[in-house]
Amino acid sequence: MTTATMSGVLDADVTLRPRWPSTRGRRWLLRLALGVPFVILALVADARGIVSLSNEQLEVAGKTIDWGDDRFDFLGNVYPPIPTAVAALLPGGALWSGLVGALAAGVVLQVLAERLRIRDVAPLALTLLVASVGATPAFAYLSTQDLAGFLGMALFALALAGLLRFAVDGDTEGGFQCGLALGVAAMCDPATVVYATFFATAAPLVAWRRYRGQPGAISATFAVVVFPAAAAMLGWAFLEWQFTGEIFASVRAQDDFLAFPDGVFGTLLLEFVDVIRRVAITPVFVITAILIARRRPIALGGPLMALLSLTVAQWLGFNLGTGQTLVIIASIGVMTVPERPSRNVTILLACASVVQIALSWIPWRPSLPVTQFVEQLFA
């Protein structure tokens, strides 16, 4: 379906909103400024001798890439290919992967701030809401210590922002941003195909009034949102099979993949309960979900679909980790703040942001890598 057709189906009588900051150069300056604290954090962590096992494993996988090998035997060892290729191109050492992740953190925070600015959120509340994601140990750990996981999560945030621009604001470009971000994310995180399917399902629920009476809108959304991720995954599967005789060997080698340790339904229930526990310590998400339910109950299906996608991804054995799940839920909460919130709602969201930051620093499960990272950082 062409851009013109998509625009005709979904963008009738819609005034597109300006980007923030208004120019690409200013947006990148803001992204770099927001990434500086995480660059410093990565340097401090390295100076304290904190070992990033995730980034070290990524570096080892990157060393298996032989750019001049026409047999491509290494393809079975390098999924996810984009973070592995980045690690292979860096000078060496897990620190460099941490620095790349730190700069990506600035992009994520700018995307969140832009969404809030477009929604006319007051500056102080905007700052606190962005901090409710960025000033948490999980975000700090992922951005500086787990490049592969963080790139997948960062692209998830970009995709969500694009989906909301597409479904709520009627911006066709946002739909393509969502699809392309998920397509690239599929090369960083295999769980992306799960996200893409639920994203496409959530869009009509988020903007039911605009989709109602437009029979081509839902199929168009699935085409734009799901196809890039599905195509990327199938394309990689073909390449890996063609040159190694296997499909997603590195994913299938993980102990948790399709393991279902408590049985199929038992594991699903446990993963759902685990996601709900994360929701309980992200009050911004809870408040925005309540506000959505009060204004348009059917739109609550959007955030619920996102939670369901996290549940299914973990149930299938994709190792998201508690930190990644928390950051994704917190980002969804910020992205779904209502437009032009009243003074009382603004105060409520600001207070929830402060509480969320405080809750994030409590060591709920001391064995988690995030908690260990914080303990080593301040030891």
**215 domain-assigned:** yes
Which range is least confidently modeled, 141-150, 172-181, 208-217, 309-318?
208-217
**16 domain-assigned:** no
Burial classification of residue 70, based on how many CB atoms lie within 10 Å of its CB (0-12 exposed, 13-18 middle, 19 or more buried): exposed
Domain holding 205, by residue range, is 21-378
**93 domain-assigned:** yes
* 21, HSE (Cβ side, Cα atoms, 13 Å): 12
**pLDDT grade for 16, boundaries at 50, 70 and 90:** low
* pLDDT, mean of residues 105-133: 95
Please give the pLDDT value at position 114. 93
- The owner of tokens 């080892």 is 60
**pLDDT grade for 196, boundaries at 50, 70 and 90:** confident
Question: pLDDT per residue over 337-350, tens digit each?
Answer: 999 999 999 999 99
Q: Is residue 254 pLDDT above 50, yes or no? A: yes
- Torsion, Cα 285 150 107 203, to 10 degrees, reads -50
The residue that leads in pLDDT, 69 or 305, is: 305
* pLDDT, mean of residues 360-364: 82
* pLDDT, mean of residues 316-344: 87
Question: Is-contact 181 159, C-beta < 8 A?
Answer: yes
CA distance 79 to 341: 43
Q: Is residue 314 pLDDT above 90, yes or no? A: no
Question: pLDDT per residue over 163-195, tens digit each?
Answer: 887 777 667 788 788 888 988 988 888 777 777
Count of residues making up the chain: 379
How many domains does the structure of the chain reveal?
Answer: 1
The single-letter DSSP state of residue 19 is P
Which range is least confidently modeled, 72-81, 223-232, 280-289?
72-81
Whole-model pTM over 0.75: yes
**11 domain-assigned:** no
SS3 16: coil
**1 domain-assigned:** no
* pLDDT, mean of residues 98-108: 94
Question: Is-contact 320 277, C-beta < 8 A?
Answer: no
Question: Is-contact 155 184, C-beta < 8 A?
Answer: yes
Question: Is-contact 166 175, C-beta < 8 A?
Answer: yes
Question: pLDDT per residue over 127-161, tens digit each?
Answer: 999 999 999 999 999 999 999 889 888 888 888 88
Cβ neighbours of residue 23 closer than 8 Å, sequence gap 6 or more: none
Q: Is residue 248 pLDDT above 80, yes or no? A: no
**14 domain-assigned:** no
Q: How far is CA 51 from CA 63, 282, 364, in A?
A: 18, 28, 22
**106 domain-assigned:** yes
Q: Is residue 3 pLDDT above 70, yes or no? A: no
**196 domain-assigned:** yes
Please give the pLDDT value at position 113. 96
